[in-house]
């Protein structure tokens, strides 16, 4: 080694939040002191939530220079799509981190509406103070030159619908101990002491369903009502929530969270996404619910189903953008303009 | 009536059960009862086998409507599985309505093995109802199995460009386009 040679460069890590709430970044920070070990193992080149970083620095890197990029958040604007493509080019491994990046999450429900409907809600409701009816424009000609805003795309997409993705870490947000386990596995693989999982793997989660991790007792598969929680004391702490009429998404949701919500009396909302082998999350759930409703006449069935006030929201709360229909009709019509 | 509706031939996917409705269709054939050729029948062992995924996949990949059919309530070969189909149908109708798909595009028809004429009449009724609704032209499914590059191309086609996006983003349904040319 010549005297001027630098020590061996650490593998580079990029963490980027696209259309996200920041919860995924918090979940990473929640690995507590292990974050120091992450800093030891990697050179963090981009993590806008935590440290300063310039897009230009990323553009200056050689293609494939970043070892692993964890992308959270959804693809809704021109900017996030651009960054996803840029990071894909610069990274050897790309991970769809969290529900938004992997399946669209709650922001994906906006795919039930067209761009115009969304903007009407944001800029033109009765309680909106917008007397001039200002709407965003993507281009504005000022005397000093033309200004650009990243365009709000007609539909929300997941990371995988924009670029090639190597791994998926599900969850809204992913559980911190699962994140740490995945990071350890990646470090081990980089040190040559462990195998890298096959491309396309779902990391940091199980393959079964939340019901399999849930300790509640299941036996009667007949439901005569669907209700929302008003008084938690009214529900038995040991019996399956679905059996007690709470719409619980456990039967279709991937295991990995440890069934945290049902353990404290809240029904599973499905944040870990579809269980292994499920083509359409909502379809699986509709099938499960329909099987256990205890009514065999149309009007009785309808009365029970009235308890599910928002079926699309119930069945596709996290997965609409990756469902078979991908969204509502108005989001497709005329390119989502109307 | 516009020209498009006059020349529009709906594509309907029909799920039939092995014991009643498929045999009803068979009987209609043997008895030479006429019904519109718009329906494509798929035989399941039981209407209870109908996974809601099948229905959504049909819509996503170009069907204008889906017809589920099975044995009359109380006459199911598997005791009560047709009732499960009824519940799935009710739940699906509510969900697709929120997606902007008219509930009439999903139909449930009971037909015993002896009711060939009834099934044929129901197929004719559903065909005319869907014809009146017009094409569904759901663009998602044709993008559904594409890789990232293909999806990107399909995405560009969904517009947002100045000058007006295409009327049916994601491209014309080839089957409908062929119909329109005739």
* pTM summary value: 0.88
- Predicted ipTM of the assembly: 0.91
| Widest pairwise Cα distance in chain B | 58
CATH number reported for the structural domain that contains residue B12 in this entry: 3.40.50
- CB–CB of A329 and B138 under 8 A? yes
Q: Which domain holds residue B43?
A: 3-133
Q: How far apart are CA B169 and CA B159, in angstroms?
A: 7
Whether chain B has a CB inside 8 Å of the CB on A108: the answer is no
Mean pLDDT score of chain A: 92
Architecture of domain A12-107+154-190: 3-Layer(aba) Sandwich (3.40)
Same domain, B89 and B109: yes
The runs of H, that is alpha helices, within chain A are 23-29, 34-41, 55-60, 78-90, 98-103, 115-123, 176-190, 210-213, 260-263, 281-292, 298-305, 311-315, 329-332
Q: Which of B96, B117, B133 is the last residue of a domain?
A: B133
- Given a cut of 70, the residues of chain B with pLDDT beneath it are 1-6, 140-182
Could you list the mean pLDDT of each consecutive 10-residue stretch along chain A, which spans 338 residues? 62 95 95 94 94 92 96 94 96 96 96 89 91 88 92 90 95 95 92 90 95 93 89 90 94 96 95 95 96 94 96 96 90 63
- CB–CB of B91 and A283 under 8 A? no
- CB–CB of B138 and A325 under 8 A? yes
Beta bridge partners of B40: B13
Cis peptide before A173 (omega within 30 of 0): yes
Domain count for chain B, please give it. Answer: 2
The Cα of A322 is separated from the nearest Cα of chain B by a number of Å equal to 9
Best to test chain A binding among B99, B139, B157 (most A CBs inside 10 Å) = B99
Q: Which residues, at least 6 apart from A239, have a Cβ–Cβ distance to it below 8 Å?
A: A216, A217, A218
Residues of chain A with CATH 3.40.50.700: 12-107+154-190
Which of B80, B88, B166 faces A287 most closely, judged by CB atoms?
A: B88
Which residues in A10-26 are b (16+ Cβ under 10 Å) and which e?
Answer: ebbbbbbbbbbbebbbe
Q: Give pLDDT, residue A138.
A: 87
- CB–CB of A282 and B52 under 8 A? yes
């Amino acid at each position: 080694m010549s005297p001027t040679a630098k020590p061996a460069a650490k593998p580079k890590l990029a963490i980027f939040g696209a259309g996200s709430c920041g919860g995924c970044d918090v979940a990473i920070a929640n690995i507590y002191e292990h974050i120091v070990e992450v800093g030891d193992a990697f050179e963090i080149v981009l993590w806008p939530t935590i440290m300063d970083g310039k897009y230009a620095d990323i553009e200056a890197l050689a293609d494939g220079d970043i070892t692993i990029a964890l992308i959270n958040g959804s693809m809704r604007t021109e900017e996030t799509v651009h960054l996803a493509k840029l990071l894909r080019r610069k990274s050897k491994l790309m991970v769809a981190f969290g529900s938004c990046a992997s399946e669209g999450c709650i922001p994906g429900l906006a795919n039930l509406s067209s761009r115009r409907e969304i903007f009407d809600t944001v800029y033109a409701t009765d309680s909106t103070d917008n007397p001039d009816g200002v709407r965003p424009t993507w281009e504005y000609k000022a005397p000093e030159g033309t200004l650009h805003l990243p365009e709000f795309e007609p539909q929300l997409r997941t990371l995988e619908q924009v670029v090639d993705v190597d791994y998926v870490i599900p969850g809204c947000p992913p559980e911190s101990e699962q994140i740490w386990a995945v990071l350890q596995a990646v470090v081990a693989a980089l040190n040559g002491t462990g195998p890298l999982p096959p491309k396309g793997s779902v990391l940091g989660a199980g393959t079964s369903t939340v019901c399999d991790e849930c300790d509640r007792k299941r036996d009667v598969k007949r439901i005569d009502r669907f209700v929302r929680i008003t008084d938690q004391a009214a529900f038995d702490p040991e019996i399956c929530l679905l059996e007690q009429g709470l719409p619980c998404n456990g039967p279709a949701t991937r295991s990995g969270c440890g069934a945290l919500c049902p353990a404290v009396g809240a029904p599973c909302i499905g944040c870990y996404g579809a269980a292994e082998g499920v083509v359409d999350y909502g379809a699986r759930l509709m099938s499960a619910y329909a099987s256990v409703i205890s009514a065999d006449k149309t009007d009785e069935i309808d009365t029970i189903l009235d308890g599910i006030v928002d079926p699309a929201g119930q069945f596709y709360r996290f997965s609409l953008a990756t469902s078979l229909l991908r969204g509502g009709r108005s989001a497709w019509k005329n390119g989502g303009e109307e | 009536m516009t020209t498009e509706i006059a020349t529009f031939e709906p594509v309907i996917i029909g799920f039939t059960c092995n014991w009643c409705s498929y045999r009803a269709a068979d009987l209609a054939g043997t008895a030479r009862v006429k019904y519109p050729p718009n329906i494509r029948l798929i035989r399941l062992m039981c209407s209870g086998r109908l996974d809601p995924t099948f229905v959504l996949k049909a819509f996503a990949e170009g069907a204008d409507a889906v017809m589920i059919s099975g044995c009359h309530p109380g006459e199911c070969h598997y005791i009560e599985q047709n009732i499960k189909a009824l519940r799935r149908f009710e739940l699906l109708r509510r969900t697709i309505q929120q997606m902007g798909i008219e509930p009439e595009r999903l139909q449930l028809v009971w037909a015993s093995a002896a009711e060939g004429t009834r099934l044929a009449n129901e197929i004719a009724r559903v065909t005319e109802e869907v014809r009146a609704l017009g094409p569904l032209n759901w663009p998602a499914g044709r993008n559904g199995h594409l890789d990232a590059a293909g999806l990107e191309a399909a995405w560009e086609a969904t517009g947002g460009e100045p000058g007006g996006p295409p009327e049916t983003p994601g491209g014309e349904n080839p089957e409908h386009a062929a119909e329109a040319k005739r």
